[in-house]
Structure 1
Amino acid sequence: MTELRAVPPEELETWYTKELCTTFPPCEQKPLSAIRELMAQGRYELLGLYDGPLLQGYATLWSGPECPGYVLLDYLGVTAARRNGGLGGRMLGLLRERCGSGTVLIVEAEDPDSGGPPEERPLRERRLAFYRRHGCTPVYLSFNCSLLCQVFVLGEAPADLAALGKAHRAIYGPSRRDVVIDPPPGAIPPQPYWMER
């Protein structure tokens, strides 16, 4: 029986190096020190989907006291051995239950026209279809980690998209200059701070 629970703090570094850094491109790999700092502030949570002691998937949730009722799904992944078996959708369902009806779960996924490698376009399109299939509603575009992203909410879109965008941006905080909500057409996404030269 699988369950979603907190990943023990002593497993954070192993998760970071063996899962996050092998699955996500460098522009999306938030430094481990930043994750630790956010966790120490009570703003970041690493959840694992476990079958007994075995980690099968993971989700990180990022929130902030300045925007109650909004949570950002920062990373969602399934371990390599368990991919394409329905666990990603199961995790979204468990996250929906965990957050409850009073919380808006914000999801970002790379847009097909993100500017990434053309050969990865089918993968980007599959990711977007996955989120739609599992009850996510597209709400607007954003820049994040030097990419153009489609932003979703899990469930129905809230009536006040301006408040959603404001909360979304506030979760990242003022130092993340690479995050732009609803960027103007033709704008170029900035690099995340960990890739600036």
Structure 2
Amino acid sequence: MELKRMDRDELTDLYEREMVYVFPPDERKPLRAMLRLMDEGKYDPLLAVEDGEPMGYALLWLPESREGALLEYLGVLRGKRNGGAGARILSALGERYSQLFGEAEAPTSGDPEEDDLRRRRIGFYLRNGFRVLDYECAMFGVHFKCLYRGFEEDDRKVQELHKGVYTGYFSPAHMERYIQLPLAPGEAIHPAPRWMEEDDEEEVFP
């Protein structure tokens, strides 16, 4: 599996042809925010190619320290699924990044079918070398389990690097309103606007 960095046009094409159909609006970061991060050198959009054929993608958000990367989106293209491509993409990412942070929705929706899907998603990452960290987070009103793959054994150090992804982009006011990292046990999750509501998008992603 080869990982090729996408340019702005290629990321836009992937977003419009694939991601808008795969991710619901409240889970889909605005394209213009991704492009801005690319312009700032803080985003690594990768197309996974195997035997010359596109198979999937990994979109990573980079902290200012450049220590590790947040795996924001991992996807296998429609028509290419159920063949182990996702695991092969993660394996290839291990050659590019020695530390990866992940956020997987916590199985706390109250819907048994949805929570089973979330547990299986977490299990996929565990089978591919990640571990569940001893802290959780909430982003824009969504509760996540925090995951990590790398050499660091101190979860506090991982947490600091993980949080640095967001502090390098959002203002302190936005951090307080939208980003709960860590999410303390029993802490209420802050309600937040959907990313793709036009007015809120302008406010959150200036």
Q: Is 2:185 the counterpart of 1:190? A: no
- Whether the 8 Å contact between 1:178 and 1:192 is mirrored in structure 2 is no
Q: Tell me the SS of whatever aligns to 1:80.
A: coil
* Residues 12 and 68 (structure 1), Cα distance of their counterparts in 2 relative to 1, 3 Å cut: closer
Partner of 2:179: 179
Return the offset for 1:193. 6.5
Return the offset for 1:153. 0.6
- Whether the 8 Å contact between 2:67 and 2:161 is mirrored in structure 1 is no
Q: Tell me the SS of whatever aligns to 1:182.
A: strand
Distance in structure 1 (CA, Å) of the matches to 2:62 and 2:15: 19
Partner of 1:147: 142
Q: Is 2:79 the counterpart of 1:93? A: no
* Residues 70 and 3 (structure 1), Cα distance of their counterparts in 2 relative to 1, 3 Å cut: closer
- Whether the 8 Å contact between 1:148 and 1:189 is mirrored in structure 2 is no
Aligned to 2:129, which of 126, 135, 154? 135
Taking the TM superposition and a 5 Å limit, the aligned residue runs for 1:97-112 are 97-100=95-98, 104-112=99-107
In structure 1, stretches of 5+ residues that fail to align are: none
Partner of 1:168: 162
Return the offset for 1:145. 3.5
Partner of 1:15: 14
* Residues 31 and 116 (structure 1), Cα distance of their counterparts in 2 relative to 1, 3 Å cut: farther
Return the offset for 1:10. 1.8
TM-score, scaled relative to structure 1? 0.86
Distance in structure 1 (CA, Å) of the matches to 2:126 and 2:50: 26
Aligned residues: 190
Q: In percent, how many aligned pairs have the same letter? A: 36
Paired residue type of 1:178: Y
Paired residue type of 1:76: L
Of stretches 74-83 and 13-22 in structure 1, the one that deviates more from structure 2 is 13-22
* Residues 7 and 163 (structure 1), Cα distance of their counterparts in 2 relative to 1, 3 Å cut: same
Partner of 1:6: 5
Paired residue type of 1:89: A
Query: Alpha-carbon deviations, 1:45-93, whole Å to 9, x = none?
Result: 100111355321100111122x331211111111121112111111111
Distance in structure 1 (CA, Å) of the matches to 2:111 and 2:17: 23
Q: Tell me the SS of whatever aligns to 2:79.
A: helix
Paired residue type of 1:182: P
Return the offset for 1:155. 4.0
Paired residue type of 1:190: P
Distance in structure 2 (CA, Å) of the matches to 1:168 and 1:192: 23
Query: Alpha-carbon deviations, 1:150-178, whole Å to 9, x = none?
Result: 1111145x233222212212211333432
Return the offset for 1:147. 1.3
Structure 1 vs Structure 2 CA RMSD:
2.1
- Whether the 8 Å contact between 1:144 and 1:192 is mirrored in structure 2 is no
TM-score, scaled relative to structure 2? 0.83
